[in-house]
Amino acid sequence: MSVLDELPVVVIGAGPVGLAAAAHLHERGLPFTVLEAGDSAGAAVRQWGHVRVFSPWRYDVDAAARRLLDVAGWIAPDPDALPTGAELAADYLQPLAELPAIKPHVRFGARVQAISRLGLDRLRTAGRESAPFLVRLADGDELLARAVIDASGTWGTPNVLGASGLPARGEQDAGAFLEHALPDVLGADRDRFAGRHTLVVGAGHSAANTLLSLAELAAAAPGTEVTWAIRSASPTRTYGGGDADALPARGALGTRLREHVDAGRIRLLTGFSVHALTPTGGRVAVVVRHADGAEESVLVDRIVAATGFRPDHSVAAELRLDLDPVLGATRALAPLIDPNEHSCGTVPPHGVDELSHPEVGYWAVGMKSYGRAPTFLMATGYEQVRSVVAALAGDWDAARDVQLELPETGVCNSDPADSVTGESCCGPAPAVAPAARGLATGVAGGPLSSPLSLVTLDAAPSGARVGCCGS
């Protein structure tokens, strides 16, 4: 065994995919350290804790993680229940992180600032593959690693509001008026929206559910106004197929949203791009530019940016990455997940080979591995780390035996015109299921191939919304 092999594998992120990687590394007998920037397991997931997801518990737990938890006497939640993000963190991620096999190897409050090779910058080649990785933390501490599995996700790097991929004029100065993609409109954040005018930007299911929550709030809180702005000329894709939609949940969301728009409870702006934001008198003026070049100004109190996410590869600037120039995923993975060609249900199986970079021993997995593509599934992330860890253990047969059975119909954004504003969470088309609310965090992958059982729309708790596939 070389000195390099004696070093731990560093896993960045203690979300679902990062902790799944830790579970697989433990099973393979490989030393590891998990670095989590937050103060608890699933820190990003907890930020959308009010969200109830589509996929029941049976689909939300990694296989290796379940084996470890079962041995420890874990009392698993009802497999048919739909967890909120808070429940996912408290009832699964936290117990997993507390296991004796995992807990000593997790460091919280450990934000990674940069990754390099010890003694080598990106230019140096000689001896590169035998040099350990150098992982520098924001507090100045440094760790040496045999390999790095980056499961840090994209929650902290949302897309901008402006068109052309650039911030709108004044966007950075208008931060006090901007909301993340999934505000708790009917709960903790209610006071920021009640009796005020909110602009929701985006055509995905995060936007749709936020709009439905705002419409519900408007019925109870006089003076609450809702405006919805999308880039496309028509909201047809967001509305879906109604009763004929392959996804009953999508059809139900779209039908209810259409009713609110048709009734005038939600004002719809189509064919627009956000051009400028100007704070004025405690509110913000949003200048939108239509496809024909005409401009319109909308004065609002809050803006919900449901515009998707993008990866931050800056921490790996001294590594040799082969990134697709469009998506920011690996060049091998990009054509398999391109939202111009694929929904989440048509993404083919992939593992260590598609995730590898010229920098041997570094992999971005989970949400981050998909770059800007909104077609990621949590179950896909679990299979990714299983494959990567098998390769680290030298079991290349297992690493390349990738099993990922996904339905052909998904709810991901596959409209090229809106590809940068889609969701990062997707769900399968159930064979027979009632209409539902929310969006799946993970679906069939390998053995997880049976249809989902969805909660009915009327039975869903009022706080249920789109779920995100955190990593």
Do 193 and 301 lie in one domain? The reply is yes
pTM across the whole model: 0.83
Cβ neighbours around 239 below 10 Å, total:
19
| CA 427/CA 26 separation, integer angstroms | 30
Tally of structural domains, the chain: 2
320 touches 357 (CB < 8 A):
yes
Strand order through the sheet with 133-137: 112-117, 133-137, 142-145
403 touches 428 (CB < 8 A):
no
Do 132 and 233 lie in one domain? The reply is no
| CA 192/CA 201 separation, integer angstroms | 17
Q: Which of 257, 274, 305 is the last residue of a domain?
A: 305
Do 150 and 259 lie in one domain? The reply is no
The helix (H) or strand (E) run that includes residue 46 is: helix 43-47
| CA 382/CA 222 separation, integer angstroms | 45
Amino acid letter at 136? R
Sign of the C-alpha dihedral computed for residues 387, 327, 230 and 347 taken in this order: negative
Residues in the chain: 471
327 within some domain? yes
Do 169 and 263 lie in one domain? The reply is yes
461 within some domain? no
Do 33 and 150 lie in one domain? The reply is yes
Do 120 and 220 lie in one domain? The reply is no
63 within some domain? yes
Per-residue pLDDT of the chain (471 residues; tens, 9 = 90+): 577 888 999 999 999 999 999 999 999 999 999 999 999 999 999 998 988 776 788 888 999 999 999 999 999 999 988 888 999 999 999 999 999 999 999 999 999 999 999 999 999 999 999 999 999 999 999 999 999 999 999 999 999 998 788 999 999 899 999 998 889 999 999 999 999 999 999 887 788 889 999 999 999 999 999 999 988 888 877 776 555 544 454 557 778 899 999 999 999 988 888 999 999 999 999 998 887 888 889 999 999 999 888 999 999 999 999 999 999 999 999 999 888 776 655 677 899 999 999 999 999 999 999 999 887 888 889 999 999 999 999 999 999 999 875 544 333 333 333 333 444 333 333 333 332 233 333 332 222 222 323 333 333 333 333 333 333
* Structure tokens that stand for 204 in this block: 């995905």
Q: Which of 305, 324, 350 is the last residue of a domain?
A: 305
| CA 160/CA 403 separation, integer angstroms | 35
Sign of the C-alpha dihedral computed for residues 36, 157, 253 and 366 taken in this order: negative
Sign of the C-alpha dihedral computed for residues 229, 230, 231 and 233 taken in this order: negative
**Which domain does 95 fall in, by range?**
3-156+309-421
Give the start-end residues of each E strand in 78-159: 106-108, 112-117, 133-137, 142-145, 147-150
CA distances from 129 to 67, 124, 322, 362 (A): 33, 11, 16, 11
CATH code for the domain of 25: 3.50.50.60
In the numeric block, the tokens 């409109």 are attached to: 185
Do 120 and 245 lie in one domain? The reply is no
Cβ neighbours around 81 below 10 Å, total:
14
Specify the pLDDT at position 240. 66
Q: Is 153 helix (H, G, I), strand (E, B) or coil?
A: coil
Do 180 and 151 lie in one domain? The reply is no
Do 236 and 265 lie in one domain? The reply is yes
459 within some domain? no
444 within some domain? no
Q: Burial level of 398, CB count in 10 A (0-12/13-18/19+)? A: middle
Q: Specify which residues 197 forms β-bridges with.
A: 225
The dihedral region occupied by 29, where left means phi > 0, alpha psi between -120 and 50, and beta the remainder, is left
Longest dimension (CA), the chain: 70
Q: Specify which residues 274 forms β-bridges with.
A: 162, 288
Do 296 and 361 lie in one domain? The reply is no
Strand order through the sheet with 106-108: 106-108, 32-36, 9-12, 147-150, 362-364
390 touches 28 (CB < 8 A):
yes
Do 142 and 19 lie in one domain? The reply is yes
465 within some domain? no
Do 265 and 358 lie in one domain? The reply is no
